Amino acid sequence: MKIHHFNALIAVVKHNFSISSASDGLSLTQPAISKQIQQFEAELNLSLFIRNGKRLVGLTDSGQEVYRRALDVINKIDDIYQFSYESVGNQGALSVATTHTQARYVLPRVINRFRSIYPDVKLAVHQGSPKEVAQLALEGEVDLAIATEAVGEENGLVTLPCYQWNRCVVTPHDHPLTRQNKLSLAQLSDYPIITYGLGYTGRHRIDEAFEQAGLVSNIVLTAVDSDVIKTYVRLGMGVGIIANMAYSYEEDRDLVATDARGLFGTSYSHVAIRKDKYIRPFIFKFIEMLAPHLTEEIVIKALRELDPIERKQLLISITLPSY
């Protein structure tokens, strides 16, 4: 059993069971990948893949378990390499997967500060849906996943709360809602609404609020990007419901932002880390720059030292800042 067997298995799965794509990713020929898979199955005396003729179409039950264990092995090896880099000081790489809202409105100040202190660290930021960024962290493709939704749903991840945030309703200056003393869901339901797509930026809280009030929300357009939402508000297509962090007094002077925190409740953004991830010192510092209450001591306790009940108690004790 060799490391290249693990790499071949993982590459085929990650490339949707395409040996051609996997061979490109590993810079190997297709026959070489096929041979490695055959050798691996023969050595284990297991069928790892479901086949349709010569095509691989999925993993068998045994294949799923071997794949999970192979990921663990490769991640452990990566951790050893990471540990060896300690001898060269604050050098290395940090990869972060996050959603658009975090990347556009929260991370720039953090990254700017981080790069000024750690100029020799190669930083990569990957954008995706909440489910995608959680999966990247779970598979060890990135060091950290930062999002509002989904990152707390994966068994192999520990999620830590970064900050709480609320929403605002954005409209042109002459919109009738700007003349209301107190905004209500009933008033909002009278107008076409533009907001986030399902699964993004706490969208479920918006749907839940209207449903619990017995109202139907007239959502006419959805987007993953707050800037897109504001663009269509400017075009007069409806009123926008966005994260309050996405409104800028300087950049959005042509729009009015009305506080909607009392309508949709508070949401929380989290950072997620693999439970068995080796964390280099500068990664702890990045987390603390993002969320000052998440000190190295707190993160280590949450990852290593506490059972689930104690971890929950620890996180409840944290006072979250508001964004």
**pLDDT by residue (tens digit) across 199-252?**
887 888 999 999 999 999 999 999 988 999 999 999 999 999 999 999 998 899
Decide: helix, strand or coil at residue 160: strand
pLDDT, position 11: 87
Are 132 and 51 within one domain? no
Q: Range of 131's domain?
A: 89-159+271-316
Mean pLDDT value across residues 247-273: 91
* Higher pLDDT, residue 127 or 78: 127
The residues that bridge with 223 in the sheet, in sequence order, are: 196
pLDDT at 81 over 70: no
Residues 245 and 226 in one domain: yes
For 22, 59, 254, the CA distances from 16, given in Å and listed in that order, are: 9, 11, 46
pLDDT value of residue 89: 57
Dist CA 134 CA 120 (whole Å): 27
Verify that 231 and 307 share a domain, yes or no. no
Same domain, 23 and 112: no
| Domain limit, last residue, from 84, 112, 132 | 84
Instruction: Compare 315 and 289 and report the one with higher pLDDT.
Output: 289
Give dist(CA 161, CA 270) in Å, integer: 4
Q: Residue 289: which residues within 8 A CB-CB, separation 6 or more?
A: 110, 113, 114
| SS3 state at 145 | strand
* Residue after which a domain boundary falls, among 84, 105, 133: 84
User: For residue 300, which of 321, 320, 317, 314 has the smallest C-alpha distance?
Assistant: 314
The sign one gets for the Cα dihedral 245, 248, 249, 250 is: positive
What average pLDDT does this structure show over 259-283? 87
Are 102 and 129 in the same domain? yes
Q: How confident is the model at residue 30 (pLDDT cuts 50, 70, 90)?
A: confident
Distance CA 225, CA 195 (A): 9
The pLDDT of 12-27, averaged and rounded, is 84
To the nearest 10°, report the CA torsion of 190, 192, 193, 194: -170
Who's near 285: CB < 8 A, 6+ residues apart?
114, 117, 118
Residue 85 binned pLDDT confidence (cut-offs 50, 70, 90): low
87 has a pLDDT exceeding 70: no
Average confidence (pLDDT) over 111-139: 91
The predicted structure's pLDDT at residue 139: 84
Tens of pLDDT, residues 34-45: 888 888 889 889
Residue 72's pLDDT band, with cuts at 50, 70 and 90, is confident
Would residue 249 count as lying in a domain?
yes
Sole residue written with tokens 């297991």:
46
Domain boundary among 66, 84, 102: 84
Strand positions, DSSP E, 101-238:
121-127, 144-147, 157-165, 167-172, 193-196, 219-223
CA distance 302 to 63: 31
Two tokens at 311? Answer: 């971890």
Strands (E), 120-266: 121-127, 144-147, 157-165, 167-172, 193-196, 219-223, 239-243, 255-259
8 A C-beta contact, residue 32 and residue 38: no
Average pLDDT over residues 151-171: 83
In this structure, are 309 and 223 located in the same domain? no
